[in-house]
A and B are shown apart, each in its own frame.
Chain A
Amino acid sequence: MTRLSETPGRVGTAVGLSVERVDARDKLAGKAEFTGDLHPPFMLYGAVLRSPYAHALIEHLDVRGAQDIDGVVAVLTGDDLSDIDPYYGHALRDRPVVAIGKVRFVGEPVAVVAAVTQAIADAALAAIEVSYEPLEVAASVDAALAPGAPLIHEGAVRPGLAHGLGTLPEREGNICYSYGFSRGDTASAFDTAAVVVEGEYRFPAVYQYSMETHTTIAHHRGDDIVVWSSCQHPFLVRQEISELFGLALDRVEVIVPYLGGGFGSKSYTKMEPLTVAMSRKAGRPVRILNRVDESMVTTRRHNMKCRMRTAAGADGELVAREVEMWLDTGAYADNGPRVTATAGDAAPGPYRWRAMDVKAHCVYTTTSPSGSYRAFGSTHVQWIGESQVDEIARRLGLDRLEVRRANLLGRGEEVRPGAKGVDADLVGDIEKVAAAIDWGAPRGPNRGVGVSIGLLAAGAHPVSMATVRLGPDGGVTVLVGTTELGQGARTVMGQIAAEVLGLESSRVRVIGTDTAYTPYDRSTGASRSTTVAGKAVEEAALDVLDALLETAADVLEVDREQLTIGGGAVAGGGRTMSYEQLVQKRFGLAGGELIGHGRVQPRGGSGGFADGPVFWEICVAGAEVEVDTETGVVTVLRTSSVADVGRAINPQLIERQDEGGALQGIGNAMFEEMRFNDDGLLLNDTLLDYRIPSFEDVPASMACTIVENGDGPGPFGAKGCGEGVLAGLPAAIVNALADAGVAMTELPLTPERVWNQIQKQRTVEPKERT
Chain B
Amino acid sequence: MSETISAIVNGRAFDGEVEANELLLDFLRDRLGLIGVRQSCEVQVCGTCTVLVDGSPVSSCCFLACDVDGKVVETIEGLVGTPFHDEISEAFVRHAAVQCGFCTPGMLLTAKALMGTTDLASEAAVRHAMAGNLCRCTGYRSILDALMEVFDAHDPTRA
With both chains docked as a complex, state the minimum distance between the C-beta of B85 and any C-beta of chain A, in angstroms: 8
**Is A486 interfacial (CB-CB < 8 Å)?**
yes
Residues on A with beta carbons closer than 8 Å to the beta carbon of B151: none
Residues on B with beta carbons closer than 8 Å to the beta carbon of A693: 140
Distance in angstroms between the alpha carbons of A698 and B140 in the assembled complex? 7
Residues 154-188 of A at the B interface (beta carbon under 8 Å): none
Q: A261-B136, A487-B99 are in contact. Are A30 and B75 (CB under 8 A)?
A: yes
By secondary structure, the B interface counts as: loop
Chain B interface residue number, banded? 35 or more
With both chains docked as a complex, state the minimum distance between the C-beta of B159 and any C-beta of chain A, in angstroms: 26
**Is B40 interfacial (CB-CB < 8 Å)?**
yes
Identify which of A206-214, A315-323, A505-513 touches chain B: A206-214
Distance in angstroms between the alpha carbons of A28 and B131 in the assembled complex? 19
Distance in angstroms between the alpha carbons of A292 and B42 in the assembled complex? 8
**Is A631 interfacial (CB-CB < 8 Å)?**
no
Q: A30-B75, A36-B39 are in contact. Are A695 and B144 (CB under 8 A)?
A: yes
Chain A residue with the shortest CB-CB distance to B37: A30
Residues 561-576 of A at the B interface (beta carbon under 8 Å): none
Verify A27–B137 contact, CB threshold 8 A. Answer: no
Verify A21–B80 contact, CB threshold 8 A. Answer: no
Chain B residue with the shortest CB-CB distance to A702: B141
Residues on B with beta carbons closer than 8 Å to the beta carbon of A702: 139, 141
With both chains docked as a complex, state the minimum distance between the C-beta of A222 and any C-beta of chain B, in angstroms: 29
Verify A30–B35 contact, CB threshold 8 A. Answer: yes
Distance in angstroms between the alpha carbons of A21 and B100 in the assembled complex? 11
Residues on A with beta carbons closer than 8 Å to the beta carbon of B140: 659, 663, 693-695, 698
Residues 103-154 of B at the A interface (beta carbon under 8 Å): 103-105, 108, 126-128, 130-131, 133-144
With both chains docked as a complex, state the minimum distance between the C-beta of B29 and any C-beta of chain A, in angstroms: 8
Verify A698–B105 contact, CB threshold 8 A. Answer: no
With both chains docked as a complex, state the minimum distance between the C-beta of B104 and any C-beta of chain A, in angstroms: 5
Distance in angstroms between the alpha carbons of A343 and B96 in the assembled complex? 33
Out of B46, B133, B141, name the residue touching A659 (CB < 8 Å). Answer: B141
**Is B60 interfacial (CB-CB < 8 Å)?**
no
Verify B100–A656 contact, CB threshold 8 A. Answer: no
With both chains docked as a complex, state the minimum distance between the C-beta of A435 and any C-beta of chain B, in angstroms: 20
Chain A interface residue number, banded? 35 or more
**Is A660 interfacial (CB-CB < 8 Å)?**
yes
**Is A31 interfacial (CB-CB < 8 Å)?**
yes
Distance in angstroms between the alpha carbons of A259 and B38 in the assembled complex? 13
Distance in angstroms between the alpha carbons of A33 and B93 in the assembled complex? 19
Chain B residue with the shortest CB-CB distance to A208: B136
Out of A28, A486, A692, name the residue touching B92 (CB < 8 Å). Answer: A28
Residues on A with beta carbons closer than 8 Å to the beta carbon of B136: 209-211, 261, 263, 660, 664, 692
Distance in angstroms between the alpha carbons of A292 and B104 in the assembled complex? 19
**Is A683 interfacial (CB-CB < 8 Å)?**
no
Q: A692-B136, A696-B128, A698-B127 are in contact. Are A687 and B100 (CB under 8 A)?
A: no
Verify A28–B89 contact, CB threshold 8 A. Answer: yes
Residues on B with beta carbons closer than 8 Å to the beta carbon of A658: 139
Verify B75–A34 contact, CB threshold 8 A. Answer: no
Q: A656-B139, A687-B45 are in contact. Are A698 and B102 (CB under 8 A)?
A: no
Residues on B with beta carbons closer than 8 Å to the beta carbon of A686: 41, 43, 45
Residues on B with beta carbons closer than 8 Å to the beta carbon of A485: 100
Chain A residue with the shortest CB-CB distance to B100: A486
Residues on B with beta carbons closer than 8 Å to the beta carbon of A652: 96
Chain B residue with the shortest CB-CB distance to A665: B139
Residues 22-57 of B at the A interface (beta carbon under 8 Å): 34-43, 45-46, 48
Q: C-beta contact mask, A471-495 vs B, less than 8 Å → 1, else 0?
A: 0000000000000011110000000
Residues on B with beta carbons closer than 8 Å to the beta carbon of A653: 96
Distance in angstroms between the alpha carbons of A199 and B140 in the assembled complex? 36
Verify B93–A211 contact, CB threshold 8 A. Answer: no
Chain B residue with the shortest CB-CB distance to A667: B136
With both chains docked as a complex, state the minimum distance between the C-beta of B102 and any C-beta of chain A, in angstroms: 3
Distance in angstroms between the alpha carbons of A25 and B94 in the assembled complex? 12
**Is B77 interfacial (CB-CB < 8 Å)?**
yes
With both chains docked as a complex, state the minimum distance between the C-beta of B149 and any C-beta of chain A, in angstroms: 15
Chain A residue with the shortest CB-CB distance to B41: A687
**Is B73 interfacial (CB-CB < 8 Å)?**
no
Verify B46–A687 contact, CB threshold 8 A. Answer: yes
Residues on A with beta carbons closer than 8 Å to the beta carbon of B128: 695-696
Nearest 5 pairs between A and B by C-beta? A30-B36, A27-B101, A486-B100, A659-B139, A260-B102
Please report A residues at the B interface, Cβ cutoff 8 Å: 18, 20-21, 23-34, 36-37, 209-213, 258-261, 263, 289, 291-292, 485-488, 652-653, 655-656, 658-664, 686-688, 692-696, 698, 702
Q: Could you write out 29 A-B pairs with CB less than 8 Å apart?
A: A21-B96, A23-B98, A24-B96, A28-B93, A29-B85, A31-B35, A31-B36, A33-B35, A34-B35, A210-B136, A211-B103, A213-B40, A261-B100, A485-B100, A486-B137, A653-B96, A656-B137, A656-B138, A656-B142, A659-B139, A660-B99, A660-B136, A661-B139, A686-B41, A687-B41, A687-B46, A687-B134, A694-B131, A695-B130
Other than the given A660-B136, A692-B136, A694-B131, 12 more pairs (CB < 8 A) read A27-B104, A28-B93, A28-B108, A29-B89, A34-B38, A211-B38, A289-B39, A291-B42, A486-B100, A488-B99, A660-B138, A688-B43
